[in-house]
A and B are shown apart, each in its own frame.
Chain A
């Protein structure tokens, strides 16, 4: 069964550094998303992406964040200058024209 994959599984970075989180969505899906889950809190929407542009973004997704689909398979989330409060589990998701989204296993980002 096809699934969403994410790399790395755990990323440790120093405050102020740039990080790129990578995702490979399910191959025939058209809609791509990033969510995050701060430890002990609910899953929060960051951004959705369709047809090579951002469809919607939350207030969390400020100028420090960007997304890109550099080729036909990868979908990346970049944080330009990480802050301590960016420490969280980041989930990539994808969907076809159906309702449900399929999530990857997540990347745990730790900012020190």
Chain B
């Protein structure tokens, strides 16, 4: 299995609070992605990174920010959590852009 660790695995938070999810990889892959998975929508890209300090928006980036200060870590921050951000969040890595993606185990986030 690719070395990807997401933390936390589960979190319940209140509306309006900031939340940070962490993705850590040991594969030294250049590309890192944050997806959310919701019933009826499949996996949708939130943000991605193509190198340290190099990030870009995905399909559903509103309300989210990311940072990548080291190759191995990619952080996803919900600036002010809303109930619509209740979802399962997956981090993925790939060596080259849009090639085989390796996924973490996911973080189940509930905003109440």
**Are A and B bound to each other?**
no
- Chain B interface residues (CB < 8 Å from chain A): none
- Chain A interface residues (CB < 8 Å from chain B): none
